[in-house]
C-alpha cells in the first residue's frame, strides 16, 4: 500500500481555533497574517451570485453538512431558505470526516441518532437522483481483548432486549468462514470479530457536495464568503440575521456553525459547551486483497474502503488541549 496523500485534518485546526485562539493557528489558516477560509477537500461548489435577499423564512448560519441538510428539510416544508457561509461550502469538517454511520456499542440518544442517520441516508440516492456515495458497507471490529469481546456480547444481548421490537439489530459476532470472508487475507491469530452488517459509509469528498448541489437545485440560496455577525431580536423574537454584507429579515435563524458555534452563541449570551479536539486521518491508495469493508483492528487501527477504491485510514491520533477556554 502506498501512501498517496497525507493531510492533517483542517477541521482539527478549526476546532483548535475555536478553542485556543488565532495565535496558534497553523499555516493552513493563516496567509500573510490573515485568516483564510477553509477549503473543501474536493469538489468546489459556487455559492449563489448577487446581493443577499432582504428577507427569508429561515436563515441558516454555516454551509457544512448540517446547514445543508437543515436547509433541504425546511425548503421541503415550504419555507424560503438562505444559508450564509463565512468561507466555502463544506470547507471545514464536512469534507473531512471518516465517513462511518454505525451504532456499534452505542447507547441511548447516540444509538438512536446513528440509527436514524442510517435510515435517512439509505433512501437518499433515490430521493435526490444522484449517487451521494452512501452505501451499506458493514463494519468489522476485532476485539482488543477477551474482556472487550465479552462486553460486545453483552451489548448485543442487552440491545436486542431494549430495541429489537422496534429496530432490527443487525450486529452479531462472526468467526470461522464468515470471519475469513469479511476480513479477507488476515494472516494473524485473529479469529473472531463483532460485525455490524447494516453499518453505512459516506465518502467525505462526495456527500456534502452532492447534497449542496441538490439544495441549490430545490431553491436554497447559499451565500459564501459571507459571515454572520449576529442575530437581532425585536419584542423577544428573532427579527434579523446580520451578516458582514447586509442584514436579512427573518423570524427563524438556525446556527450550524460547527466548531465556531460556541463563539457565535457566546455573543448571544448562550453558553454552548464544547471540547476542542484535533484528529488526523489519511487517504491512501488501495492494495490487492484488502477487505472492502470498514475495519477496526486492535492497536487503534482503522480503515474503510471508499467508493473509488481508495481507503480512509485512521491510525487515530487524538489531541484534546486542556486550556482555560475548554471549560468556559
Ligand atoms: C476527522 C473527523 C472524522 C469524523 N468522522 C466521522 C464519522 O465517521 N462519522 C460521523 O458521523 N461523523 C464524523 N465526524 C463528524 C462530522 O464530520 C461532523 O459532525 C460534521 O461534518 C459537522 O458538520 P457541520 O455542518 O455541523 O460543521 P462544519 O462542516 O464544520 O460546517 C460548519 C460551517 O459553518 C461555517 N460558519 C461558522 N461560523 C460561521 C458564521 N459566523 N457565519 C457563517 N458561517 C459560519 C463554517 O465556515 C463551516 O463551513 C468526523 C469529524 C472529523 C473532524
Q: Domain of 85: which CATH number?
A: 3.50.50.60
Between CA 11 and CA 276 the distance in angstroms is: 11
Cell of 14: 478549526
CA–CA gap between residue 38 and residue 13 (Å, rounded): 10
For residue 283, tell me if it sits in a domain: no
201: its cell numbers: 459509509
Tell whether the torsion through CA atoms of 301, 306, 311 and 312 is positive or negative.
Answer: negative
Q: Does residue 194 form part of some domain?
A: no
- What is the predicted pLDDT for the residue at 34? 46
Distance CA 222, CA 245 (A): 14
pLDDT of 44 reads 80
Tell me, yes or no, whether 127 lies in a domain: no
Find all residues with CB under 8 Å of 138, minimum gap 6, and list them: 182, 195, 196, 197, 198, 199, 293, 294
**28 Cβ contact list (under 8 Å, min separation 6):** 8, 10, 13, 36
192 in helix, strand or coil?
strand
Cα–Cα distance between 211 and 130 in angstroms, integer? 9
Establish if 183 belongs to a structural domain: no
Decide whether any atom of ligand 1 lies within 6 Å of the 94 Cβ: yes
pLDDT of res. 9: 27
Question: Do the Cβ atoms of 197 and 57 come closer than 8 Å?
Answer: no
pLDDT at 147: 97
H helices present in 77-145, as ranges: 108-122, 124-128
Q: Please report whether residue 211 resides in a domain.
A: yes
Which parts of the chain have pLDDT scores under 70?
Answer: 1-43, 316, 324-328
63 lines ligand 1 (CB under 6 A): yes
Q: What is the pLDDT of residue 291?
A: 85
Gap between the Cα atoms of 220 and 89, Å rounded: 13
Contact 98 CB / ligand 1 (< 6 Å)? yes
What pLDDT score was predicted for residue 326? Answer: 64
pLDDT of 202: 95
Indicate whether 87 belongs to any domain: yes
Query: What spacing in Å lies between the alpha carbon of 11 and ligand 1's midpoint?
Result: 7
Residues near 306 by beta carbon (within 8 Å), at least 6 away in sequence: 99, 133, 201, 203, 205, 283, 312
Count Cβ atoms below 10 Å from residue 244 Cβ, excluding itself: 11
Residue 193 CB: number of other CB atoms within 10 A?
A: 24
Structural domains counted in the chain:
1
* Best probe residue, ligand 1, of 67, 102, 104, 257 (max atoms within 8 Å of C-beta): 257
Q: Please say whether the beta carbons of 35 and 59 come within 8 A.
A: no
Rounded CA-CA distance 112/103 in Å is 8
CB 291, CB 279: distance < 8 Å: no
For residue 38, the model assigns a pLDDT of 67
* Dist. CA 156–CA 124, nearest whole Å: 28
| CB-ligand 1 contact for 13 (6 Å cutoff) | no
| Distance (Å) from CA 261 to ligand 1 centroid | 10
Asked if residue 284 belongs to a domain, the reply is: no
First vs last C-alpha separation in the chain: 44
Strand order from edge to edge, sheet including 58-61: 221-223, 81-84, 58-61, 253-255
Distance 94 CA to ligand 1 centre (A): 5
Give the number of the atom of ligand 1 that is nearest the alpha carbon of residue 66.
25
Q: How far apart, in Å, are the Cα atoms of 276 and each of 16, 55, 227, 258?
A: 6, 34, 21, 11
* Inside any domain, residue 71: yes
Angle at 95 between CA 93 and CA 100, to 5 degrees: 85
The SS3 of residue 248 is strand
User: For residue 162, how far is its CA from the centre of ligand 1 (angstroms)?
Assistant: 31
**What does the block give as the cell for 324?**
482555560
Domain ranges, residue 216: 12-95+206-266
Tell me how far apart the alpha carbons of residues 75 and 81 are, in angstroms, rounded to a whole number.
Answer: 6
Amino acid at each position: 500500500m502506498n501512501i498517496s496523500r497525507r493531510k492533517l485534518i483542517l477541521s482539527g485546526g478549526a476546532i483548535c481555533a475555536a478553542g485556543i485562539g488565532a495565535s496558534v493557528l497553523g499555516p493552513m489558516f493563516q496567509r500573510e497574517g490573515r485568516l483564510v477560509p477553509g477549503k473543501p477537500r474536493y469538489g468546489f461548489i459556487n455559492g449563489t451570485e448577487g446581493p443577499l435577499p432582504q428577507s427569508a423564512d429561515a436563515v441558516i448560519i454555516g454551509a457544512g453538512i448540517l446547514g445543508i441538510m437543515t436547509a433541504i428539510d425546511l425548503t421541503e416544508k415550504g419555507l424560503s431558505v438562505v444559508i450564509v457561509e463565512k468561507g466555502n461550502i463544506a470547507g471545514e469538517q464536512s469534507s473531512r470526516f471518516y465517513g462511518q454511520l454505525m451504532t456499534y456499542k452505542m447507547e441511548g440518544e447516540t444509538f438512536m441518532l446513528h440509527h436514524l442517520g442510517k435510515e435517512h441516508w439509505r433512501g437518499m440516492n433515490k430521493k435526490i437522483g444522484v449517487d451521494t456515495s452512501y452505501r451499506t458497507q458493514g463494519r468489522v471490529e476485532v476485539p482488543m481483548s477477551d474482556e472487550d469481546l465479552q462486553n460486545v456480547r453483552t451489548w448485543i444481548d442487552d440491545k436486542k432486549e431494549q430495541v429489537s421490537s422496534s429496530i432490527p439489530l443487525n450486529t452479531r459476532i462472526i468467526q470461522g468462514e464468515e470471519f475469513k470472508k469479511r476480513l479477507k487475507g488476515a494472516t494473524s491469530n485473529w479469529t473472531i470479530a463483532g460485525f455490524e452488517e447494516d453499518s453505512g459509509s459516506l465518502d467525505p469528498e462526495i456527500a456534502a457536495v452532492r447534497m449542496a448541489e441538490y439544495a441549490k437545485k430545490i431553491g436554497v440560496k447559499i451565500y459564501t464568503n459571507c459571515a454572520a455577525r449576529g442575530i437581532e431580536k425585536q419584542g423577544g423574537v428573532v427579527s434579523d440575521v446580520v451578516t458582514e454584507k447586509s442584514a436579512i429579515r427573518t423570524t427563524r435563524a438556525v446556527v450550524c456553525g460547527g466548531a465556531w458555534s460556541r463563539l457565535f452563541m457566546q455573543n448571544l449570551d448562550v453558553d454552548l459547551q464544547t471540547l476542542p479536539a484535533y484528529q488526523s486521518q489519511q487517504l491512501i491508495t488501495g492494495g490487492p486483497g484488502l477487505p472492502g469493508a470498514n475495519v477496526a483492528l486492535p492497536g487503534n487501527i482503522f480503515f474503510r474502503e471508499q467508493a473509488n477504491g481508495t481507503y480512509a485510514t485512521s491510525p487515530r491520533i487524538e489531541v484534546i488541549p486542556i486550556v482555560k477556554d475548554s471549560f468556559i
